[in-house]
Amino acid sequence: MITKIISEEKIQKAKKYVEKGDNFVIVTHVTPDGDALGSSLGLYHFLVEYGKENVTVIVPNDFPQFYKWMRGTKDIIIHEKYPDYAEELIQNADVLFCLDFNDPKRIEKLGGPVVASEARKVMIDHHLNPADFCRVTMSYPEMSSTSEMVFRFICRMGFFDLLNKDAAECIYTGMMTDTGSFTYNSNQPEIYVIISELLKKGIDKDLIYRRVNQVYSESRLRLMGYVLYEKMKVYPESKAALITLTQKELNQFNYVTGDAEGFVNLPLSIEDVEFSVFIREDKDYLKISLRSVGNFPCNLFAEKYFNGGGHKNASGGEFYGSLEQAVAVFEEGLSLFNPNKSEEIKPNE
């Protein structure tokens, strides 16, 4: 038996939208990760199995190759490539699901069209402090992934039987990736009850692990070696580490989207490093990834210094300026916020 986390009122309201809706759009956050894609496609497969004929997943921009084995990825509309079509679908939707984000800012250029759409909007998400732009807001930060919430949502509507193997694979992928293959945020026993149900749907969890984690190019591994040898700076007094990569360095290693995935976690395997930041030059800004182990709230650090946010142990942000400036901001943050005394960091400071 799985605890009823999502309120009954929200489930019933969203269930009505599911039953009555004809044109469904599912939107997820920029630079979609495994949970963004897994939750969106999990819900997509369910709605198709239910009998809905017009269901589309729309993402702001492209996503890594190692997620493209998931059933349904070929039908995802990438807004950056087909803005007019994507916006027309959003405008004509009668039900719009917002998955794995809780603020229109997180979908960048899709934010305007989503907010303007008259569709009934349902948010399913697990980040802190949801913005108020949906009719139904299912926001449960204690959940380890949005994919787990999608599983709970489908079951609570009474439609477990309509959760097919394709949906189960996608949901499992999101649960796996948002917990670092069940190595953090993953002590909640019910996670494993849900996995057990997904296994009964016929998924091969070992194969999913391999497809996501063991499909990289030689150049990615060499880039990783370069990062560890040349580019990782450790700040022992702060129990922190920093990795930076410029566009030039990325080009040198034939970088493709996803090649730097997980690099931010590498320094955390050093015994005394509890906070790790990775700054990567993107087209017109710097992408910041932050991770921590234990109590250091990298979401507060991300909010304060990098215009971002996220979870306590996994956050992100952006920086508009030079790499040198971003490093200076990081180092200033380190000197002000001692990760060993994270209780000194007050929320909303």
**Which of ligand 5GP, Mn ion, none binds 318 (CB below 5-8 Å, type-dependent)?**
ligand 5GP
Structure tokens at 150: 């999608």
Q: Select the residue interacting with ligand 5GP from 259, 315, 319, 334 (CB under 6 A).
A: 315
Q: What is the CA radius of gyration of the chain?
A: 20
Q: Which stretch binds ligand 5GP (CB under 6 A): 64-72, 75-83, 196-204, 314-322?
A: 314-322
Question: Would you say 249 or 318 has its CB closer to ligand 5GP?
Answer: 318
What 3-state DSSP class applies to 83?
helix
| Minimal distance, residue 51 CB to ligand 5GP, in Å | 32
What is the C-alpha to C-alpha distance for residues 106 and 50, in angstroms, rounded to an integer?
29
Which residue minimizes CB distance to ligand 5GP? 316
**Which of ligand 5GP, Mn ion, none binds 316 (CB below 5-8 Å, type-dependent)?**
ligand 5GP
Cβ proximity of 246 and 230 under 8 Å: no
Contacts of 322 (CB under 8 A, 6+ apart): none
34 interacts with ligand 5GP by CB under 6 A:
no
| Minimal distance, residue 188 CB to Mn ion, in Å | 15
Q: Select the residue interacting with ligand 5GP from 297, 310, 333, 339 (CB under 6 A).
A: 310
Q: Which stretch binds ligand 5GP (CB under 6 A): 115-123, 136-144, 302-310, 335-343?
A: 302-310
Structure tokens at 212: 């996501």
| Minimal distance, residue 328 CB to ligand 5GP, in Å | 20
Structure tokens at 66: 């190692």
What is the C-alpha to C-alpha distance for residues 151 and 138, in angstroms, rounded to an integer?
13
- Binding site residues, Mn ion, CB under 5 A: 35, 100, 146, 178
Q: Which stretch binds ligand 5GP (CB under 6 A): 58-66, 80-88, 189-197, 311-319?
A: 311-319
Question: Would you say 127 or 239 has its CB closer to ligand 5GP?
Answer: 127
| Minimal distance, residue 338 CB to ligand 5GP, in Å | 22
Nearest to 288 by CA among 274, 268, 308: 308
Nearest to 280 by CA among 299, 303, 263, 302: 263
Amino acid at 7: S
What is the C-alpha to C-alpha distance for residues 197 and 2, in angstroms, rounded to an integer?
11
Tally: H helices and E strands in the chain: 12, 12
The stretches of the chain forming alpha helices (DSSP H) are 8-20, 34-50, 83-92, 111-116, 146-156, 165-177, 190-200, 205-213, 218-226, 247-252, 298-306, 323-336
289 interacts with ligand 5GP by CB under 6 A:
yes
Task: Name residue 137's beta-bridge partners.
Answer: 123
**Which of ligand 5GP, Mn ion, none binds 276 (CB below 5-8 Å, type-dependent)?**
none
| Minimal distance, residue 100 CB to Mn ion, in Å | 5
127 interacts with ligand 5GP by CB under 6 A:
yes
Question: Would you say 32 or 72 has its CB closer to ligand 5GP?
Answer: 32
Cβ proximity of 267 and 232 under 8 Å: yes
Find the helix or strand (DSSP H, E) in which 187 lies. Answer: none
Q: Select the residue interacting with ligand 5GP from 14, 27, 33, 40 (CB under 6 A).
A: 33
| Block residue for tokens 């304060």 | 304
Q: Which stretch binds ligand 5GP (CB under 6 A): 14-22, 150-158, 208-216, 304-312?
A: 304-312
Distance of CA 317 to the CA centre of its chain: 13
Q: Select the residue interacting with ligand 5GP from 72, 111, 317, 339 (CB under 6 A).
A: 317
Q: Which stretch binds ligand 5GP (CB under 6 A): 111-119, 223-231, 246-254, 308-316?
A: 308-316
331 interacts with ligand 5GP by CB under 6 A:
no
Structure tokens at 253: 């290693």
**Binding region for ligand 5GP (CB under 6 A):** 33, 127, 289, 308-311, 314-318
